[in-house]
């Protein structure tokens, strides 16, 4: 048994940030516990190989949902990082902060002090934007962010031009003043390599004398003394161990792992815990509830010209790409291939974007397989502000049994209508003249899919998770809130949760950026540091949002 000032459970996007920031003071002893192991695999470090670690048991928890009742009872894949860097080591590396209004929404939900002007300084502290820092962007933070290969493939710019022709605005930086519009996409890549939270935050400090990193560890339980967390018990090499703290236990195990560990420690809904044979230590009914995720589907077209990545899927071409990356860190190996994107509103009356596009000059699945012979391109599209809510619940007192996960995707009628808009608006965009020299027949959904009923059936069959589970230990003040605005578990002492599970609502965009920001801000709170000064910066929105769905004059 050992004692530390801070015990962090989970070396993912948030845990790596906390390990770095909490150990900056040499007087603080910090223990970081991670179930997975090293992140040094070439398949993790090479951006173009992103589909491999996500689908590898060694690097990811291969969770699946229960049959989803509103998706034709499909069981949905929900991989989560099980490696240093967590999901930032297996994700698509897309960097999106979210819209400013997403964080105002958090504040309105009871997360006091988490409005956009208060979060922006922490986004900037985290980031090293490859074009340099400015009013909105950070220039010297640990996390490298760029645009991959600078949209060398002409299809990227055709997508942006098509959006403009369809009446949408252009945005040169959706992470700055204006999210809404079409423009280049950003990724967490630095020097041609994946810039995960482990690479950005952990690698530079892993040799600090006051930081202990234990891998291949399975935490079973938070140790409690009354209403105070005093340590954790964990299994390593087949033996059980304990680590103690006089200060704080911090859960950063993610939106599946954190509520799972709370429940196994007797913290959660008392009736559910009793039903699975766990003694309730602290009744907190919101633990595991409020589960939210992004769904998306691929809109795919055949391409008239042989310029797509589908022509690079043979072993010889892959070998050339791999060699160029291995020796020079250049070429197609350095990108996730999502180099242009868009954020738009699905209808008039929506104040800020609720739809997101990732454009790729290939027609290919996440597992790296092509669905057809020949050249094609695709755009991933999703309705990003879902109303449907699910849950994560432990199924027994066995801490190593996977929890029950139910998303309830498309339960809400608003979500169904949002995906109808995704189909119709996307077709309109791709039908613009910018694509005339490239666009051939529609592969998916297929030109025959037109009516509401046909679109709904297609979506239920084809939609996939964007791998953004969140909000299961939400921050706020109501009876279903799990943590307060200081990230402390409500009603307990010495216990924090810091990861995407504490989001009150899911932002419009990928979650790695906001998760890192949350950890940066929480680190100051836990250390008792004054918050960074808030920054009053311009935010550009459509002043006519109540009456129009799009405007190219923002």
What are the residue numbers of the active site? 468
Sheet containing 404-406: order of strands: 289-291, 390-393, 404-406
Q: How far apart are CA 376 and CA 35, in angstroms?
A: 39
Prior bond of 445 cis (ω within 30°) = yes
How far is C-alpha 189 from the geometric centre of its chain's CA atoms? 15
Give the chain's end-to-end CA distance (angstroms, integer).
60
Among 487, 486, 484, 511, smallest CA distance to 497 is for 487
Q: At what angle do helices 100-108 and 116-126 cross, to 10 degrees?
A: 130
Specify burial of residue 236 (Cβ count, 10 A radius: 0-12, 13-18, 19+): middle
How far is C-alpha 132 from the geometric centre of its chain's CA atoms? 24
Q: Is 96 annotated as a binding residue?
A: no
Among 404, 383, 409, smallest CA distance to 70 is for 409
Among 401, 343, 275, smallest CA distance to 102 is for 343
Cβ–Cβ under 8 Å, residues 507 and 99: yes
Q: Is 498 annotated as a binding residue?
A: no
Q: How many CA atoms lie within 13 A of 30 on its CB side?
A: 32
Written in H, E and C, the secondary structure of 101-130 is HHHHHHHHCCCCCCCHHHHHHHHHHHEEEC
Q: How far apart are CA 2 and CA 217, in angstroms?
A: 15
Q: How far apart are CA 273 and CA 132, in angstroms?
A: 50
Q: Is 94 annotated as a binding residue?
A: yes
Q: Is 92 annotated as a binding residue?
A: yes
The helix (run of H) or strand (run of E) holding residue 236 is strand 228-236
Q: Is 489 annotated as a binding residue?
A: no
State the DSSP code for 202. Answer: I
Q: How far apart are CA 185 and CA 229, in angstroms?
A: 42
Handedness of CA 265, 267, 272, 274 (dihedral sign): positive
Q: How far apart are CA 392 and CA 399, in angstroms?
A: 14
Written in H, E and C, the secondary structure of 315-331 is HHHHHHHHHHHHHHCCH
Q: How far apart are CA 533 and CA 272, in angstroms?
A: 42
Q: Is 240 annotated as a binding residue?
A: no
The helix (run of H) or strand (run of E) holding residue 521 is helix 512-527
Contacts 24+ apart (CB under 8 A), 265-269: 265/221, 265/222, 265/224, 266/224, 267/222, 267/489, 267/492
Q: How far apart are CA 157 and CA 342, in angstroms?
A: 12
* Residue stretches of the annotated binding site for FAD: 83, 91-94, 219
């Amino acid at each position: 048994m050992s004692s530390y000032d801070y015990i962090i459970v989970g070396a993912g996007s948030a845990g790596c940030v906390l390990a770095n920031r909490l150990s900056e003071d040499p007087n603080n002893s910090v223990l970081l516990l991670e179930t997975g192991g090293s992140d040094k695999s070439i398949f993790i470090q090479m951006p173009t190989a992103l589909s491999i670690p996500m689908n590898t048991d060694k690097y990811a928890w291969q969770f699946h949902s229960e049959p989803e009742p509103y998706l034709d009872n499909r069981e949905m894949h929900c991989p989560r990082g099980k490696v240093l860097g967590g999901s930032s080591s297996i994700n698509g590396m897309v960097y999106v902060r979210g819209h400013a209004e997403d964080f105002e929404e958090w504040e309105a939900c009871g997360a006091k002090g988490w409005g956009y002007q208060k979060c922006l300084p922490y986004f900037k502290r985290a980031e090293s934007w490859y074009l340099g820092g400015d009013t909105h962007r950070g220039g010297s933070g640990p996390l490298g962010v760029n645009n991959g290969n600078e949209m060398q493939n002409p299809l990227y710019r055709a997508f942006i031009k098509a959006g403009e022709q369809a009446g949408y605005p252009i945005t040169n930086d959706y992470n700055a003043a204006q999210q809404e519009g079409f423009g280049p996409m950003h990724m967490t890549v630095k020097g041609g390599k994946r810039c995960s939270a482990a690479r950005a935050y952990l690698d530079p400090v892993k040799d600090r004398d006051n930081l202990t990193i234990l891998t291949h560890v399975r935490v079973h339980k938070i140790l409690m003394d009354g209403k105070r967390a005093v340590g954790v018990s964990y299994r390593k090499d087949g033996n059980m161990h304990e680590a103690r703290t006089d200060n704080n236990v911090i859960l950063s195990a993610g939106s599946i792992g954190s509520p799972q560990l709370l429940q196994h420690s007797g913290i959660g809904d008392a009736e559910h815990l009793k039903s699975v044979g766990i003694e309730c230590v602290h009744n907190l009914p919101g633990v595991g509830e409020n589960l939210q995720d992004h769904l998306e589907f691929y809109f795919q077209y055949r391409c008239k010209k042989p310029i797509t990545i589908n022509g690079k899927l043979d072993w010889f071409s892959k070998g050339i790409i791999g060699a160029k990356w291995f020796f020079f860190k250049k070429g197609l190996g350095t990108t996730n291939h999502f180099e242009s994107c868009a954020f738009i509103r699905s209808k008039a009356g929506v104040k800020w974007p609720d739809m997101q596009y990732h454009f790729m000059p290939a027609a290919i699945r996440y597992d790296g397989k092509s669905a057809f012979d020949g050249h094609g391109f695709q755009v991933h599209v999703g309705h990003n502000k879902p109303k449907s809510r699910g849950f994560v619940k432990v199924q027994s007192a066995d801490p190593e049994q996977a929890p029950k996960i139910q998303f309830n995707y498309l339960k809400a009628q608003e979500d169904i209508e949002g995906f109808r808009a995704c189909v119709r608006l996307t077709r309109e965009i791709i039908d613009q003249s910018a694509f005339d020299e490239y666009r051939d027949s529609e592969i998916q959904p297929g030109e025959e899919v037109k009516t509401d009923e046909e679109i709904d059936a297609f979506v239920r069959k084809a939609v996939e998770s964007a791998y953004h589970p969140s909000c299961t230990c939400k921050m706020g003040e109501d009876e279903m809130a799990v943590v307060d605005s200081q990230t402390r578990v409500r009603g307990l002492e010495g216990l924090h949760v810091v990861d995407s599970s504490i989001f009150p609502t899911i932002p419009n965009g990928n979650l790695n950026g906001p998760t890192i920001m949350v950890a940066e801000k929480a680190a100051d709170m836990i250390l008792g540091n004054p918050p960074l000064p808030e920054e009053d910066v311009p935010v550009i929105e459509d002043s006519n949002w109540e009456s129009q769905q799009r405007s190219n004059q923002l």
